[in-house]
């Protein structure tokens, strides 16, 4: 499987191999961009409201004006899925600081954001979810505002490459003797089948949308969360 043929880029639905991005886009030059990945199951967007809220929070924090409101953004997601016939998988959204024909750290006072979306058909629950995966420990070297979901993912990419060299699937990040999270997921530890531990929110980890949904369902089930 791979990305669907049709994508959305800066105002137009086009074929992926026909999409064209300016080399001066701030997402490319400075990783000045935010992103979200929303799961799709039975044709429904999962936890979309949470993803939209986190996106707008990140955009405010990195000083990119939101290109759409939440309703317009949801309609864009749905149209992309319908055009590509995807009912299970995910939608990837990236909002950048845009392009203005030059490379300048500060950029113009008012940024004109760039927007890119693609979707991919994928079976969401497979062998890894059923059987578990191996992981290695990697020192957390990400920037200090990990609660923003930006495209600054070099440290995570290097962690996954190290995991592959070690013959395992993923990596668990640690800092100053404390676990932060996995390379691209929040971390959970189950003790005695009754207690569940997870890292507290703060600048050190991403406030996962799935993490919040799991917390709510664990509490409904009467399990202790620490």
Least confident window among 42-46, 48-52, 114-118, 192-196: 192-196
The sheet that has 170-175: what strands, in order across it? Answer: 135-139, 170-175, 178-182
CB 121 within 8 A of CB 4: yes
What would the mean pLDDT of 66-92 be, rounded to a whole number?
98
What would the mean pLDDT of 119-124 be, rounded to a whole number?
95
pLDDT score of 1 more than 80: no
CB 110 within 8 A of CB 59: no
Catalytic amino acids? 149
pLDDT tens readout for residues 13-58: 999 999 999 999 999 999 999 999 999 999 999 999 999 999 999 9
pLDDT value of residue 40: 98
CB 171 within 8 A of CB 135: yes
pLDDT confidence bin for 193, thresholds 50/70/90: confident
Measured between alpha carbons, how far is 226 from 212 in angstroms, rounded to an integer? 13
What would the mean pLDDT of 3-8 be, rounded to a whole number?
98
């Amino acid at each position: 499987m791979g990305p669907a043929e049709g994508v959305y880029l800066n105002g137009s639905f086009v074929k992926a191999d026909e999409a064209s991005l300016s080399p001066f886009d701030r997402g490319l030059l400075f990783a000045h961009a935010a992103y979200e990945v929303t799961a799709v199951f039975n044709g429904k967007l999962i936890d979309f409201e949470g993803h939209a809220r986190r996106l707008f929070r990140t955009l405010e924090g990195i000083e990119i004006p939101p290109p759409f409101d939440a309703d317009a953004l949801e309609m864009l997601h749905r149209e992309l899925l319908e055009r590509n016939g995807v009912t299970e998988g995910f939608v990837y959204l990236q909002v950048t600081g845009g392009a203005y024909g030059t490379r300048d750290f500060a950029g113009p006072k008012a940024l004109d954001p760039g927007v890119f979306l693609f979707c991919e058909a994928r079976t969401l629950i497979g062998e890894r979810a059923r059987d578990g995966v191996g992981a290695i420990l990697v020192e957390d070297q990400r920037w200090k505002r990990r609660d923003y979901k930006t495209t600054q993912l070099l440290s995570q990419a290097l962690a996954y490459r190290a995991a592959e060299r070690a013959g395992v699937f993923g990596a668990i990040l640690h800092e100053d003797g404390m676990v932060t999270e996995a390379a691209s997921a929040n971390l959970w530890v189950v003790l005695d089948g009754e207690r569940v531990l997870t890292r507290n929110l703060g600048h050190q980890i991403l406030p996962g949308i799935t993490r919040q949904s799991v917390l709510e369902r664990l509490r409904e089930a009467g399990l202790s969360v620490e």
